[in-house]
Structure 1
Amino acid sequence: MPEKTTAENIFGSIVETLAESGSKQKSVSFFGEEKSNPVASQFNRLFGRQKPVYNLLGGGKSADVLLWRNKKVSASFLTGATAIWVLFEWLEYHCLTLVFFALVLGMLAQFIWSNASGLFSSGRSQTKVPRLVLPEEIFVNIAITISAEVNRALSFLQDVASGGNIKQLLVVLASLWAAAVLGSWFSFLTVLYVGIVAAHTLPVFYERYEDQVDSFVYKVLQQIQDNYRKLDDGVLSKIPKGKLKGKKFE
């Protein structure tokens, strides 16, 4: 059928474009054989971006961690997230088990410390064992941050649902559907860990090779748009569309 042949040709063209663009960008990024045009890169920023990546991430300590300005903190955070993911996913530990084991070890350590200090003090007063007290501000700040982010997400979803922008609504619905599918494939902890790894790798990679990434993405989007026009002219425009006529009421 002509429609099937046209669709196959378009799909093959997309694959060839991705392969050619990927090979070109790879040679530019790692071997330095070509240089991107700095004038063109100023106008082809991804999604119309005008601010630096550091400012888009909010600046401050969070941006420093995500962009590896402080390598020790970034590496420690990523290592801790990896250790937690391995404990719960690979070794199949449970949260309550680890919490109670930690409490048992803490109580034993405090018991040994408080009694051993009296034995080795030679009649002097016992060494005061330090007390672990969590400040209330930590829990208050966590609750405020979580509630603010949840309310912002709910407000965004409600604005999209009632805004009348069909394109934006379809994009959000497709994103939520994709998130639901991913949630059925992986556990919440795995999805959260993948998000943490992506947050610690993609921004710093984009900041280093932003000209090449922007150029590659725009070439792909342009090719997809051209192929969609061909598909529309060759297939979609030939599909008969029914006409709805309203009834007249006297």
Structure 2
Amino acid sequence: MGSSDRLPAPPLPDLYLSEGAVNDLADLIRGHINALFSISKNIAMGQDTRMFLKVAAYLCLISIIGGLTDFLRLGYASLVIVLTIPRLHEKYEDCIDRYILIGCRKLRQLYVRFDVECLGRVRKWILEKKKLS
């Protein structure tokens, strides 16, 4: 077979982004970034304590996981988890959902206990400090 026996290449489609699509995407990204800035400002000003605690907890979790492993192992483990967990959940959905509900109830009970015992003491201490000032 010579070079003259080759079939012509199929035509390539015209690829382009419309201005409207780019503007819509830019508006969406701008909206999400502005919401992030607003939440960050509320956290920095001390107006959203619950979100501050969530962010602090996630950063601590990331730090602990990062300290235990290197990037390559974390990438492989993440890939295995992402490919395995959905299939296992499909197969054992009823059993998993039941245990998740039990876990959520226990976590809610622990949070209420933590809120009453620890955060209640902190609130009481803050109120006492304000009264003394």
TM-score, normalised relative to structure 1? 0.31
Identity over aligned pairs, percent: 23
Shift of 1:167: 2.2
More relative contact order, 1 or 2 (CA 8 Å, 6+ apart): 1
Larger relative helix fraction: 2
* Structure 2 Cα separation of the partners of residues 171 and 232 of structure 1: 14
**Equivalent residue runs for 1:197-212 within 5 Å:** 197-212=80-95
- Relative to structure 1, is the Cα distance of residues 193 and 232 closer, same or farther in structure 2, using a 3 angstrom cutoff? same
Of 33, 55, 58, 1:175 maps to 58
RMSD value over aligned CA atoms? 3.7
Shift of 1:228: 4.4
- Relative to structure 1, is the Cα distance of residues 183 and 194 closer, same or farther in structure 2, using a 3 angstrom cutoff? same
Is the aligned partner of 1:217 residue 2:100? yes
**Equivalent residue runs for 1:148-163 within 5 Å:** 155=33, 158=37, 160-162=39-41
**Equivalent residue runs for 1:51-62 within 5 Å:** none
**Equivalent residue runs for 1:112-191 within 5 Å:** 155=33, 158=37, 160-162=39-41, 165-191=48-74
Total equivalences in the alignment: 97
The SS at the match of 2:72 is: helix
Mapped contact 1:206–1:213 kept (Cα < 8 A): yes
Unaligned runs of 5+ in 1: 1-150
| Larger CA Rg, structure 1 vs 2 | 1
TM-score, normalised relative to structure 2? 0.52
Mapped contact 1:160–1:169 kept (Cα < 8 A): no
Q: Deviations over 1:19-53 (max 9, x none)?
A: xxxxxxxxxxxxxxxxxxxxxxxxxxxxxxxxxxx
* Structure 2 Cα separation of the partners of residues 245 and 197 of structure 1: 55
